[in-house]
Amino acid sequence: MVRIIPMASSIRPSLSSFKLSGGVATTRFGVSLSPLDFPRRLLFSHLGSTIQHSQFFGFKASKMLRAEGSRVGMPLVRNVVHASTSAVQETALEWVKKDKRRMLHVVYRVGDLDRTIKFYTECLGMKLLRKRDIPEERYTNAFLGYGPEDSHFVIELTYNYGVDKYHIGTAFGHFGIAVEDVAKTVELIKAKGGKVTREPGLVKGGSSVIAFVEDPDGYKFELIERGPTPEPLCQIMLRVGDLDRSINFYEKAFGMELLRTRDNPQYRYTIAMMGYGPEDKNAVLELTYNYGVTDYDKGSGYAQIAIGTDDVYKTAEAVKLFGGKVTREPGPLPGINTKITACLDPDGWKTVFVDNIDFLKELE
């Protein structure tokens, strides 16, 4: 649904965002600041990003700066900056939590589209939902999953003309699929010629029955024994270099809930499950921290996840406010007018946010 697009540098506020008229400063967004009796350029350099974010979350910049009639020193400037930033963050956090968000699909590249579709439908029980060929840009998409795109998390495969192999790297972990009987599923996959890399058994340090299989491109799938669920495609595991930092970012910038954590000192790793609802009913992110490892090779295969939002413009501002990097400023995609914004988390994992209404229109 969302094309894999080149990254663009994010726009950062600068002094050129402001102009002075009659002693009153005005931002490019039309927010007026109270007259100030201290060095304006100095204050603006501190407040630039705060004023920019405040405009999107209903904050009046003039309420931040009440310094008329007195000389203001640097201590007060710092206090104003701190107080106003905290207030804007609190307002942004409230909006993010109320935003209607859902994980829509995961995008990654494969070397032979027909071969992968055959494996996913015959071995993993998925349905081919639709295909889309874009010859002018030399790629084809296939969407697969366990239910319609308007209500299920699905896979978007991308085949780039003439590219038959990708490097998966060490950062991407696996996808998770919930099945009622792991052993039977593994036997079916073997009968179809699939590759099983871990036989059914208890997960290390836990009580769940799991197995691992590999698709023709080397992407791993964890089969998780679980009762009937509305969302069989249930997990994406990504490795991160600082788990606390990642949890903080995904909670604040993405509005996800920390569902649970599990530390396994025997095998030197910790996981955090994060998402927009319970694991047995929603797709979730499984963030994995391996003790002492802070950097990974992301390879060239895995691309991004897509998440629905009611407002890509506010979403982009929230991402910036909470430490993310916006790689595509919010706006409509050429040709289809679907509004999106793209960003990176602190580890460089890419996410594309898609306008909820525009997404549904694309499916019509």
Q: 116: Cβ–Cβ under 8 A, 6 or more apart, which residues?
A: 110, 142, 157, 215, 216, 217
d(CA 103, CA 275): 8
Which residue in the block uniquely carries the two structure tokens 């579709």?
Answer: 117
- Alpha carbon dihedral 149, 153, 156, 157, in 10-degree steps, equals -130
Task: Exactly one of 149, 156, 187, 222 is catalytic; name it.
Answer: 222
Cα of 3 vs its chain's centroid, Å: 15
- Alpha carbon dihedral 312, 315, 319, 320, in 10-degree steps, equals 80
Cα dist. 169→298, 304, 346 in Å? 5, 14, 18
Catalytic: 222? yes
d(CA 155, CA 286): 17
Instruction: Give ∠ CA 251-14-96 in degrees, rounded to 5.
Output: 20
Could you tell me if 146 and 152 are in contact, meaning their C-beta atoms sit under 8 angstroms apart?
A: yes
d(CA 287, CA 173): 9
d(CA 224, CA 62): 54
The 10 Å Cβ neighbour count of residue 78 is 11
Single-letter amino acid, residue 275? G
Q: Where are the alpha helices (DSSP H) in 99-211?
A: 113-122, 182-191
Cα dist. 7→253, 328, 353 in Å? 19, 6, 14
Could you tell me if 324 and 332 are in contact, meaning their C-beta atoms sit under 8 angstroms apart?
A: no
Could you tell me if 313 and 286 are in contact, meaning their C-beta atoms sit under 8 angstroms apart?
A: no
Active site (catalytic) residues: 222
